[in-house]
């Protein structure tokens, strides 16, 4: 079986600054992988490199056996991407349905009209995230959590084999968070691979198969039990805080670094 995603010796730079060093990892099964690391660790860059949006300085990236730099259109059809919310344009003058339908347009050739099946898939995806009644609403009227769910519906509408989500819970209300977790669990059980960047692993602890700790390099990649250490810090904070330790660096989960 072809690996779902594979990085081999990947370096990525912006200008002269190398932000990802020698990234090598491989996900064979459609697993649920949480990517964790401090601000500026290169998490968003890693997702964009997986999509072929950013060209590595060296190394190769393949998704389901396709080199992402060689077959970008194929990758965009197989991979659903939900960008980091701080970077959306909240005032986008579009209706909710237009955004979800974009997920279908990606599957068509440029200029090819959408078909009935595309509308059905978009409606189905919006229903999945519990927002079908907002189909005709302007996107800018929605709350942060609802906007995030619309972007998830856009990714789902494309019937992806791999989902990449960049901090899907940041700035999101608890109801939206619960719906997103439920949808991700369902996709995992359908055999869709999920790579999700999170600051707080707690909402996903039962679904995560592997954790990738990143700080410009991979500090650890493995099953949660191999990586997560309990700590006195939980007592100190008087709430559950998980501590991950790798390469001499401690990551405290449960404290949102964007707060």
191: partner contacted, choices Mg ion, ligand ATP, none (Cβ within 5-8 A by kind): none
Q: Which CB sits closer to ligand ATP, 37 or 193?
A: 37
CA–CA separation, 196 and 211 (whole Å): 10
Q: Which CB sits closer to ligand ATP, 40 or 191?
A: 40
148: partner contacted, choices Mg ion, ligand ATP, none (Cβ within 5-8 A by kind): none
CA–CA separation, 258 and 199 (whole Å): 9
Q: Which CB sits closer to ligand ATP, 208 or 212?
A: 212
Minimum distance, C-beta of residue 235 to ligand ATP, in the bound complex (Å): 27
Tallying the residues shown for the chain, one arrives at: 259
Q: Which CB sits closer to Mg ion, 30 or 37?
A: 37
Minimum distance, C-beta of residue 182 to ligand ATP, in the bound complex (Å): 25
67: partner contacted, choices ligand ATP, Mg ion, none (Cβ within 5-8 A by kind): none
Q: Which CB sits closer to Mg ion, 40 or 191?
A: 40
The residues of the shown chain that bind Mg ion, judged by CB under 5 A, are 43-44, 84
Handedness of CA 78, 100, 81, 197 (dihedral sign): negative
Kindly report the CA angle at 134 between 133 and 137, in degrees rounded to 5? Answer: 145
Minimum distance, C-beta of residue 43 to Mg ion, in the bound complex (Å): 5
CA–CA separation, 203 and 181 (whole Å): 7
40: partner contacted, choices ligand ATP, Mg ion, none (Cβ within 5-8 A by kind): ligand ATP
Minimum distance, C-beta of residue 113 to ligand ATP, in the bound complex (Å): 34
Q: Which two tokens stand for residue 194?
A: 């999920």
Q: Which CB sits closer to ligand ATP, 18 or 95?
A: 18
243 burial level (CB within 10 Å; 0-12, 13-18, 19+): middle
Half-sphere exposure of 145 (CA within 13 A, CB side): 13
The residues of the shown chain that bind ligand ATP, judged by CB under 6 A, are 14, 19, 37, 39-45, 84
110: partner contacted, choices Mg ion, ligand ATP, none (Cβ within 5-8 A by kind): none
**Per 3-state DSSP, what percentage of the chain is helix, strand, and coil (rounded to 5)?**
35, 30, 35
Minimum distance, C-beta of residue 45 to Mg ion, in the bound complex (Å): 8
Q: Do 68 and 52 meet the contact criterion of CB atoms below 8 Å apart? A: yes
41: partner contacted, choices ligand ATP, Mg ion, none (Cβ within 5-8 A by kind): ligand ATP
């Amino acid at each position: 079986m072809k690996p779902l995603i594979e990085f081999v010796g990947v370096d990525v730079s912006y200008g002269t600054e190398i932000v990802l060093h020698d990234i090598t990892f491989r996900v064979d099964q459609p697993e649920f992988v949480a990517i964790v690391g401090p601000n500026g660790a290169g998490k968003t860059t890693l997702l964009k490199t997986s999509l072929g949006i950013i060209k590595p300085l060296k190394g190769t990236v393949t998704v389901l056996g396709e080199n992402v730099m060689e077959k970008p259109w194929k990758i965009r059809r197989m991979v659903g991407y939900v960008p980091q919310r701080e970077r959306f344009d909240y005032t986008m003058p579009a209706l909710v349905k237009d955004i979800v339908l974009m997920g279908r347009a990606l599957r068509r050739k440029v200029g090819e009209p959408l078909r009935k099946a595309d509308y059905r898939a978009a409606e189905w995806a919006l229903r999945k995230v519990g927002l079908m009644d907002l189909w005709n609403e302007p996107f800018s009227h929605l709350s942060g959590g609802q906007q995030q769910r619309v972007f998830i519906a856009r990714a789902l509408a494309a019937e992806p084999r791999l989902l990449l989500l960049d901090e899907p819970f940041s700035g999101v209300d608890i109801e939206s968070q619960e719906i997103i977790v439920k949808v991700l669990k369902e996709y995992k059980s359908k055999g869709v691979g999920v790579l999700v960047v999170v600051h707080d692993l707690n909402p996903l602890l039962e679904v995560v198969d592997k954790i990738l700790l990143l700080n410009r390099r991979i500090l650890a990649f493995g099953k949660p039990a191999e990586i997560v250490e309990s700590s006195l810090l939980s007592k100190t904070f008087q709430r559950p805080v998980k501590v991950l330790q790798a390469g001499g660096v401690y990551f405290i989960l449960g404290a949102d670094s964007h707060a």
